[in-house]
Amino acid sequence: MSQTPLLSSSAAPSRELRERIENTIRFLSVDAVARANSGHVGAPMGLARAAFELWNAHLRFDPQDVRWPLRDRFVLSNGHASMLQYSLLRLYGVLSQDDIERFRNLGSRTPGHPEYGETPGIEVTTGPLGQGFAHAVGMALAGRLARSRFGKQAGDGPELLGPGEHFVYGFAGDGDLMEGVSSEAGSLAGHLGLGNLIFLYDDNEVTIDGPTSISFSEDARGRFEAQRWHVEDVDGEDEQALDVALARCRAEVERPSLIVLKTVIGKGSAAIAGQAKAHGWSMSADDIRVAKEAIGWPADVELYVPEDVTAYFEERKKQLKEARLEADARQEAWRSAYPERAQAWEAALARKLPADLPALLCEGMEGVTSPTRKHSAKVIERLSEHVPYLVGGSADLAGSGAPPLIKGRGIVGPGAGEGHDPFAGQNIHFGVREHGMAAVTNGIGLDGTFIPYSGTFLIFSDYMRPAIRLSALMQVRSIFVFTHDSIFVGEDGPTHQPVEQVDGLRGVPGLTVFRPADGIETAMSYAWVLEKAEGPCALSLTRQDVPGLERADGFDRYDVWRGAYTLREAEGDPRVVILASGSEVSLACDAAAQLQADGVPTRVVSVPCQELFAQQPADYQDALVPDDGPLLVAVEAGLAQSYRRWIGRRGVLHSMQGFGASAPYADLATHFGFTADALLARIREAL
């Protein structure tokens, strides 16, 4: 793997200038937090030296183009220390002085925690501890996948620089290591051998409640070594030792690396250094003045940046631009050497798709009785042939179709077999790590080369919710494939039978949730996800068979993209309109047929996606589901409270009222009233 250009000796700052730069980082953080009367200064003060060393001498990036594809990535997993990153971005000219002045203010580019898409130079939204670390694992995996598919080949010299030849660096704190998601993601990273991932652990031995000894006594080195990581120990104030350790970490190509960095939280202030109160804002005006005067810093100037510090970074930006141009020239040499790979990489970045994708996915799906999870498996199989930048897998449930392995597309990781490139496959075995899997999925998406998917049983979406929420906040194009989506899981019982989960996912702003009713709806859901989605999507799929549906005359498969459509029209003005999704759509059709035979005109509306239906014009919504006139009924084998938006307070909600039970799914349908007779009785009573 190519090495990041290191800082030349002529560009290294003197000891005196280095200290001024480090103190600039410290007191930009202190002053910004003081102005906001809110925030965290302890980590920025303790990590200033290490952060400057990493960014200045090791991180390959171009401050004038923060999305440069060949850049190294930096992740601040302990996102409460956001002013550390904002201070660095300010010194490199990515952020302005005004941005720093407006820290934590409404509409600023410097929110309380780093937010992807809001602040240039931020690679991932962090704050919930452990998530940045786990997302970074996904970003590193994406780099390895990109190098395998598109990059230069073994034996090529350093004159070529292809995709995936970058590193993912990050900072993490005690809280990141305590959160379980970091253990899941760290285990996966070690198993996969992600040698392009390097994290610096801020081992300051202090938590919010006091010393780490009150709650955390793990041997971090032993833990990560057991997970197959390369580990270094470094004094956080010894930049020369850190320089050597980072070089050794980059040379370790088959294992991710952790640098255990001993630091002093709040360094530079006698009032808070080494104390728990350094975690929050606790410095008084006198504390700030005393800290500044102790190092000869102007006590009466806020957000001070010395002139020689500004001059140094202006020169450094020029040097980084020169390094970028040299890297771009090496990339052009790669393009010349591998034009087909270059073309494929550009197609992936541009998200190029077959022109007839919906037709391709729908072929042979009409009228087929099958679980929607199996329809999904067929769709993913077809996508793998036509969308080579789609990658993913399941949390040890591929055998249950959640989602399945793509035949003939290879395994990612050691499972690829001896002599095979471990990153050439498309199938990722995430293991039983749902929490980590969701974050890694997002990290792959954030890299920008691949569209990732991952899946498990719907009930375990609860384990994934933090990362799903972050995917929606960031609008990253992750695809979450959930199967076994109702009480009809059957004999496994209520611990495995979702009732509130679909509604819970529908409640996440920015997440598009599909619950398709048959093969056509499943295929068109995937087609929308690939062609139209600008953020994350989830699919809710059945374990049990559902019939291929008969549709009303004039049906256009693109009606599925409207979120709801008339599946079966009433014979005459409808007295009843039944809304349903997934496995309950056929049930609604059976009930409607009987009502129609009894002289009650009934319309059935299939609702594969409430979010898309909500985006339709009001006249379309009103024509499909009138506010007045017919009785409105919604049926779903879950809590289904999300349907109240469409049927109102007085509509009939035929849904679960509590948890399920352990029994064959046909017995559960009878017991909980998900039969045509039970639904008919409920509707007749309401009429």
Catalytic residues: 434
Q: How far apart are the first and last CA of the chain?
A: 71
Query: In angstroms, what is the C-alpha Rg of the chain?
Result: 28
* DSSP 8-class letter at 318: H
d(CA 202, CA 499) in angstroms, rounded, equals 41
Q: Which pairs from 507-510 meet CB under 8 Å and 24+ separation?
A: 507/642, 508/468, 508/469, 508/472, 509/472, 510/472, 510/473, 510/475, 510/535, 510/536
- Give me the residue label for tokens 């999904």: 376
Find the Cα–Cα–Cα–Cα dihedral 44, 46, 48, 54, rounded to 10°.
-110
Contact 511, 505 (CB under 8 A): yes
Residue 176: CA count within 13 A, CB half-sphere: 29
One-letter amino acid for residue 250 of the chain: R
Contact 274, 284 (CB under 8 A): no
- Which residues are within 8 A (CB) of 286 and not within 5 positions of it... i.e. 6 or more apart? none
- Pick from 582, 580, 590: nearest CA to 538: 582
Beta pairing class for 257-262 and 197-203: parallel
Listing DSSP states for 76-143 in one string gives ESSGGGHHHHHHHHHHTTSS-HHHHHTTT-TT-SS-SS--TTTSTT--S---STTHHHHHHHHHHHHH
- Pick from 506, 387, 398: nearest CA to 149: 387
d(CA 102, CA 476) in angstroms, rounded, equals 27
Orientation angle between helical segments 676-686 and 584-597, nearest 10 degrees: 60
Neighbours of 329 (CB within 10 A): 11
Distance of CA 282 to CAs 27, 30, 276, 288, Å?
14, 10, 10, 10
Burial, 154: exposed, middle or buried (Cβ in 10 Å; 0-12, 13-18, 19+)? exposed
Listing DSSP states for 645-665 in one string gives HHHTTTSEEE--SS---SS-H
Listing DSSP states for 237-272 in one string gives T-HHHHHHHHHHHHH--SS-EEEEEE--TTTT-TTT
